[in-house]
Structure formats: C-alpha cells, structure tokens
C-alpha cells in the first residue's frame, strides 16, 4: 500500500509525548539516518525524509493539533483513534462510559453529525429502588466549544478547502495497473482542513466538560432499568443534534429481601414449637416492622403474604406483596429438661397427628404387599 505511516510511529513517540520528547526522538533518529552518515544508502535517505516530514508536523504545535484532529496517515485508521482527547479523560470514560449506539465511532461525514449517546452505570441501594430517589451524577462529556462555536477554526478564520484532495475528500493513486481511490488522509475525507485550529479546543470543535445532572429515579426500578435523558449525551458535531444519555440502573442486593417482579420475598425461620402451636411474630418490611400471624401447623415452605407491602410498580400499577416463606428450624441442642419433655411428647405422639409421615409409609407398604 502506498499508505503513509503514522507520524508518531515514525518518530517512535507516544501520542501524548511532550514537545521536548518529540524533539529528542527526532534528533536521535535524524542523526542515525542522516544521508551524510549513510552515503549511497537509499533506504536511509527515504527514512530520513520520512523522519523530517513527521517532525515538520509534530514539531509544530499548531500543525500537530491539526494532525491530531485530522491526521495525515491515510485510510485504515479508525476515526476513534484520532482522539487524543480520550486519553485526557483517562479512566472515567473507560469505566463508566461506552459508546452506545455508535456516534463516537461513527464514520466521518462531511455534514452535521449527531453527538454520541452516553451510558452511565448507576448503582443504587435496594431501598432507593423501592422508594424512588433523586441522584446527582457527574458526567464528563464533550460539549460544543464556545470559543469557535464548534467549528474548530480559530475565531476569525475558517476551514479551507483541502489541497490534497481539492475538497473531494478522496485521493487517487496508481498501484500497478489500478487506480485506487481512498479517503484523503490530510482531511480524513472532510474535504476541508483547519489552517488555524481554535486554540481552546485544538480544532476539535468540542471541549471536555463535566456536567452535573439530577436524575429522578422512579420507585420500582430494577437492575437493568434504563432511563433515557434526551439530549444529555455529547454535543453534536458541526451543528448536529446532541446525543442522549442512558442511565442504566444496578440495584444492590438486600440482605433480607429478594425481589420477584413487584413482590418481595423473605425467608423467615421459626422454631418448631412456633410452627406447631402457631405464633405472632414481627417481620421486617421496607417501611418498618409488620406483624405476621403464623397459623398452627405451618410447614417449611408455607408462604404467608402481606398484601401491599411489596414494591411499587414502576408504571404506577399499585404495589406488590411481601411474601414470607416459612422455614422450620429443628433444635440441635437440647437441655436435659427439653429432652425429657420431647421424649414424653414422642411417647404421646405414637404416629398420630403426622399425616405426611403416615401417608408415606402407607405408600411404601402398598408397594411391597
């Protein structure tokens, strides 16, 4: 391919290298490949040219900014990695933002471009999901640069027609018998280049900004609920509309309650005497305690419901129930007195009053007779 190599790559410099580092890298390489030191070596000469060309751009702050914006490296590099600006935001972007439905990684187009949609992952407590809550979130995002109003050109200047492609956005070159047309590397297919990039935004047309938003989270949301804040994504490019912000909810687990739809489930252990004799116990709800009546003879797995003590329906259709699932605990440590009493009870029991036990042995008997 007749493709130009990346200037940073040529100099072996990082994209965020300081001007001093660039200069140092250039000097070292230029010294090494200087034609005077390599007489007759054609490849060294080519290399020296390449190095000089790269330094001509990267060694000049304004040209470097424009290069960072539009590049000169030809096709094959995605739009997304032109952005040195991503590194400026560091891990915040990586951690909580993902390009959602394209936008940021979209192909360069010449006209207005809609801003990228953003995704913000928000963790909330179980109670907050149940009762609804207002949360302040801080979103780092790209906003239209005020200095140049998003044009990217230094105030008073304008983008000019790209000389490399004469404004077509495409360049042609011959490769053997073929004429190949590819996206112009000087302007990245835009057809225009900035001779004087806006100093505030380095020609991006957008600046990094942090915006604090208050998000109203309705009662009844659950993990995976997606709230859309229209127009709160990144600013559009060249007058395009802004993207949307999606707040995606993750609800923390509750130590006692589990959730099934709008119903709350809670496993309640009771003693075997409470199960046999019946009892009134207090169980937790999302709004304080409530009395739960355990009927005599309740088994493990019995589900007792308290109406309307579940979660509010997120669409406003009433509230779910609180379902207490009974779990009968068999005592594991008996005092001498308790043992005596239970042995006495066992003598009294004599199989009567245990329909499950009796039913089982009747079936077993039927099997072998």
Which residues in this chain contact Zn ion in the complex, by CB under 5 A?
145, 147-148, 162, 164-165, 184, 186-187, 198, 200-201
**Closest to Zn ion by CB, 10 or 187:** 187
Shortest approach of Zn ion to residue 108 CB, angstroms? 11
Q: Confirm if 144 and 206 have CB atoms less than 8 A apart.
A: yes
Measure the CA–CA gap between 233 and 192, rounded to whole angstroms.
Answer: 26
Shortest approach of Zn ion to residue 254 CB, angstroms? 48
Shortest approach of Zn ion to residue 12 CB, angstroms? 27
**Closest to Zn ion by CB, 75 or 276:** 75
For residue 249, give every residue at least 6 positions away whose Cβ sits within 8 Å of its Cβ, in sequence order, or none. Answer: 122, 123, 124, 129, 217, 221, 222, 223, 224, 225, 226, 227
**Closest to Zn ion by CB, 186 or 298:** 186
Task: Give the alpha-carbon dihedral of 273, 279, 283, 288, to 10 degrees.
Answer: -150
Measure the CA–CA gap between 162 and 171, rounded to whole angstroms.
Answer: 11
Shortest approach of Zn ion to residue 169 CB, angstroms? 6
**Closest to Zn ion by CB, 148 or 292:** 148
**Closest to Zn ion by CB, 25 or 148:** 148
Shortest approach of Zn ion to residue 66 CB, angstroms? 12
**Closest to Zn ion by CB, 124 or 148:** 148
Full DSSP string of 73-111: S-TTS-GGGG-THHHHHTHHHHHH----SSSTTSPP-SS
Shortest approach of Zn ion to residue 200 CB, angstroms? 4
Which runs of consecutive H residues, i.e. helices, occur in 235-305? Answer: 272-277
Instruction: Name the nearest CA neighbour of 120 among 105, 133, 139.
Output: 139
């Amino acid at each position: 391919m007749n493709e130009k190599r990346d200037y940073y790559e040529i100099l072996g410099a990082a994209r965020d290298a300081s001007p001093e580092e660039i200069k140092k890298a250039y000097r070292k390489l230029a010294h090494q490949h200087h034609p005077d030191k390599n007489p007759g070596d054609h490849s060294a000469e080519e290399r020296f040219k390449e190095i000089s060309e790269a330094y001509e751009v990267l060694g000049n702050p304004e040209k470097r900014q424009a290069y960072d914006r539009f590049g000169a490296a030809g096709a094959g590099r995605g739009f997304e990695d032109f952005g040195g600006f991503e590194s400026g935001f560091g891990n915040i972007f990586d951690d909580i933002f993902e390009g959602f439905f394209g936008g940021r990684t979209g192909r360069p187009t010449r006209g207005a471009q809609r801003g990228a949609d953003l995704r913000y992952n928000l963790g909330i407590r179980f109670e907050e999901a149940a009762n609804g809550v207002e949360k302040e979130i801080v979103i780092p995002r790209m906003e239209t640069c005020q200095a140049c109003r998003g044009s990217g050109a230094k105030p008073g200047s304008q983008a000019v027609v790209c000389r490399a492609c004469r404004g077509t956005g495409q360049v042609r070159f011959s490769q053997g018998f073929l004429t190949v047309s590819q996206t112009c590397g000087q302007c990245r297919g835009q057809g225009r280049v900035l001779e004087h990039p806006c100093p505030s935004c380095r020609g991006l047309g957008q600046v990094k900004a942090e915006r604090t938003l208050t998000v109203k989270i309705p009662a009844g949301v659950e993990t995976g609920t997606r709230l859309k804040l229209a127009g709160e994504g990144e600013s559009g490019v060249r007058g395009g509309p802004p993207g949307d912000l999606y707040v995606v909810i993750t609800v923390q687990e509750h130590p006692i309650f589990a959730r099934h739809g709008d119903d709350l489930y809670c496993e309640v252990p009771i003693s075997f005497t409470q199960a046999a004799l019946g009892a009134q116990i207090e169980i937790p709800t999302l709004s304080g305690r409530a009395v739960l009546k355990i009927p005599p003879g309740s088994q493990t797995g019995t589900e007792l419901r308290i109406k309307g003590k579940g979660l509010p329906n997120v669409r406003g259709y009433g509230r779910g129930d609180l379902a207490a699932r009974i779990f009968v605990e068999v005592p594991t440590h008996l005092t001498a007195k308790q043992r005596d009493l239970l042995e006495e009870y066992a003598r009294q029991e004599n199989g009567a009053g245990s329909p499950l036990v009796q039913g089982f042995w009747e079936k077993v008997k039927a099997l072998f007779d």
